[in-house]
Chains A and B, each alone.
Chain A
Amino acid sequence: MSGMETWKYRWPDVVVFLACFLAQVAFVPLWGGVRLDLVLAVAVAVGMRQGPQAGGLTGLIGGLLLDLVRGRFIGAFALTHAVVGYMAGVAQAKLFENSLYLPFLFSFAGTVISELGFWALSAIWGTSLPLPAGMLALIGKEAFWNGLVSPFLYRLVRARLPAQPVGIGGRAL
């Protein structure tokens, strides 16, 4: 499949990704309270639909953009989101099941892994963040909300084409 044909098939996924990122940066913080992570949720959805490498790449790019918006500790979200997106693809491949509770489950678990991973990375680099009970409860709430939006994103993201290797422009990563 040529690059142009791949792009014609994939551009809705790019729109979904960009919409999630812009919503995360511009709209989600305005409502106050716990912030869900739409970038992580879309990385999980892409990983489940298109395979671990696509999920990892989506998480990497989305996480890196979030890091650039924050302006510090750049690379932390990129790494955690890439890992979660990749793991979602690996887990889906092993389960051979197509049920809408799986996106919720993967997104919930992925959020907990991502946030605790971020905390661990902060501790390693000496910018340790406190982890009080309130913060753990916040992670739980975020995981729940991410899980709730995941089935919708799972439906929006297109599945991998049978003959297409997982990658960009028809080339495997």
Chain B
Amino acid sequence: MTLLVAVLVVLMGVTARERERLGAVERTVAYALRPVEMAARSVVGAFQSAAFSVTEFRQLRAENETLKNDLVRLQYLEEQNRLLLDENNRLRTMLALRQSLPFTTVAASVIARSPDNWSNYLVVDKGAKDGIAVDMPVVTGVAAAAGQQAVVGSVVGRVAAVTDHTAQVRLLTDAASGVGAMLDGSKDAGVILGQGSSASGLVMNFFSRDASVVPGDVVVTSGLGGVFPAGLPIGVVESVSQTDFDLVRSAVVKPNADLNKIDFVLIIVSGHGGSAAGGNTAPPPK
């Protein structure tokens, strides 16, 4: 019994910190569980779809009418946008400016989530063989259609571990998560920290005790830290407080993305501050 406890203590000590790669045993377990997780998702999804169709029919009909009207309006705006884009491209060519695409993304489906209440992560169905590496930013959004860019939405988290065909995405709400952020208006910067559960939300600790922040302020990534590109939306300030003998100004932030209901994400594989070394990157500083 003593030997067993000693072995467990050593294992905990070795694996408590961030590791560049998962061990062979963990990768084997992840590989073995992948078909079960995907099957479970299909079964649960089918039941959820059936329940949704029964209870939400009336709401869907009203929403359908609204969306039809919106579609007509947006089609007009899209045509206007296309004309403007064509003109922009012509002008850039005339000025010999190189046209840059900000991000290259890989779309991934969520196949599993963390099984306990202390960690908040997703498992997606893309891995090292798809070009995914540790520390790549993960966002919501719409995958790129032919000839178009992907539409990048709000920050979800970052890639924390990778196997050949899956990746573990640490969500913003995870206690080990930290993201450089700033207010979109005043540009006051700070760090967004997860509180370990989606119920507890996010807390943003500002670098300055005199940060100008009020409920309703929009929070975006600051680009500091070298992982997330600047300007990606994170969430909205819900409340503000001053703690620790008035030295730390902090705010509770509600994330834009509903992290409990995400089925699909975009992983930014280039154009961001992280590296793409096939999973052998250094872990982020704590």
Residues of A within 8 A of B (CB): 22, 24-35, 37, 60, 65-79, 115, 118-119, 121-122, 125-127, 129-130, 132, 134-135, 137-139, 142
Contacts and interface: CB of A to CB of B under 8 A. Distances in A.
A132 B117 CA distance: 13
A78 B7 CA distance: 11
Interface in B23-55: 25-26, 29-30, 33, 36-37, 39-41, 44
For the complex of A and B, list the 5 residue pairs with the smallest distance between their C-beta atoms, beginning with the closest.
A26-B40, A29-B113, A75-B11, A75-B8, A134-B200
B42 to A, nearest CB: 11
Contacts of A125: 12-13, 16
Given A34-B117, A70-B114, A138-B117, A130 B19 contact: no
20 contacts: A24-B115, A25-B112, A26-B39, A29-B114, A30-B41, A66-B115, A67-B15, A69-B30, A71-B26, A71-B30, A119-B118, A126-B17, A127-B16, A130-B195, A130-B200, A134-B197, A135-B197, A137-B199, A138-B197, A139-B117
Contacts of B195: 130, 132, 134-135
B34 to A, nearest CB: 10
Interface of B: 4-5, 7-19, 22, 25-26, 29-30, 33, 36-37, 39-41, 44, 112-119, 161, 168, 175-176, 195-197, 199-200, 260-261
A73 B168 CA distance: 15
A142 B196 CA distance: 15
Contacts of B37: 25-26
Most chain B beta-carbon contacts within 10 A, residue among A22, A28, A75, A125: A75
Contacts of A34: 117
A43 B159 CA distance: 32
A134 B132 CA distance: 34
Given A69-B115, A130-B200, 14 more contacts: A26-B33, A26-B39, A27-B40, A30-B40, A30-B44, A31-B44, A69-B29, A70-B119, A73-B16, A74-B12, A75-B7, A125-B16, A127-B16, A135-B200
B7 to A, nearest CB: 8
A35 B117 contact: yes
Contacts of B13: 125
A69 B163 CA distance: 12
Nearest to B15: A74
A27 B29 CA distance: 17
Nearest to A37: B116
B112 to A, nearest CB: 7
B16 to A, nearest CB: 4
A28 B112 CA distance: 10
A122 B175 CA distance: 11
Nearest to A26: B40
Contacts of A35: 114-117
B196 to A, nearest CB: 5
A77 B19 CA distance: 18
Given A30-B41, A33-B260, A69-B30, A129 B196 contact: yes
A32 B33 contact: no
Contact of A129 (B18, B44, B113, B118): B118
Contact of A65 (B7, B29, B261): B29
A115 B33 CA distance: 24
Kindly name the residue among B8, B14, B19, B41 whose own CB sees the greatest number of chain A CB atoms within 10 A: B8
B16 A126 contact: yes
Nearest to A131: B196
Of listed B18, B116, B117, residue having the most chain A CB within 10 A: B116
